[in-house]
Structure 1
Amino acid sequence: MTRISLIQREKKRQKLEQKYYLIRQSLKKEIKKVFSQREKWKIKVRLQSLPRNSSAIRLRRRCLLTGRPRSNYQYFGLSGYLLREMIHACLLPGTRISSW
């Protein structure tokens, strides 16, 4: 299990990202429209003044059950070893573990 503080930090980042999503997108569109370097620089300064954790790139996908940050399968939202255990226990219908 992951420490609860890390999971809570990730939830806080998700809330910030949702809060500033439209602002970030509008500023990025403005940068593409403007031709002047000076105007682009001013828009970039406004973009950089937003909180760092509001950027989508800082989010990390975690396992829904354990909070593990590595080897996640996006389709299931589970980590690899937990997914394998659930498939062997026949808890995920329609999936199969390959063995050779």
Structure 2
Amino acid sequence: MAKESIKARQKKREKIVLKYAKIRKRLKLSNNYKLLQKLPRNASPVRLRNRCSITGRCRGYMRKFGISRIMFRHLVSQGLIPGVKKVSW
């Protein structure tokens, strides 16, 4: 489990990215890099990190399901993810 402060920081960044998205796009199209640099650093979508929606873990993230590999295995073994079943041979 990620610390609550890291989860909160990620949510804060997501809000800031959405807030400045139109401004960033307009400044990039007009090649006005001076004003683009004046925007907050967290306004850049590059600073976002994919995190598990349940635990906040950033490594082993499965984009299709939005969760980490550990939670994926846990939920699949319980049968909570439809269309996916545990492989055995």
Contact 2:10/2:49, CA 8 A, preserved across alignment: yes
Question: Which consecutive unaligned segments of at least 5 residues does structure 1 have?
Answer: 32-42
- TM-score, scaled to structure 1: 0.83
Count of residue pairs brought into register by the alignment: 89
Per-residue CA shift, 1:43-65, capped at 9, x if unaligned?
11111110001100000111111
Verify: 1:85 aligned to 2:77, yes or no. Answer: no
Taking the aligned partners of 2:69 and 2:14, their CA distance within structure 1 comes to 23
CA-based RMSD? 1.2
> What percent identity do the matched residue pairs reach?
43
Structure 1 residue 29 displacement after superposition = 1.1
State the TM-score, normalizing by the size of structure 2.
Answer: 0.92
Runs (4+) of structure 1 exceeding 3 A deviation are: 97-100
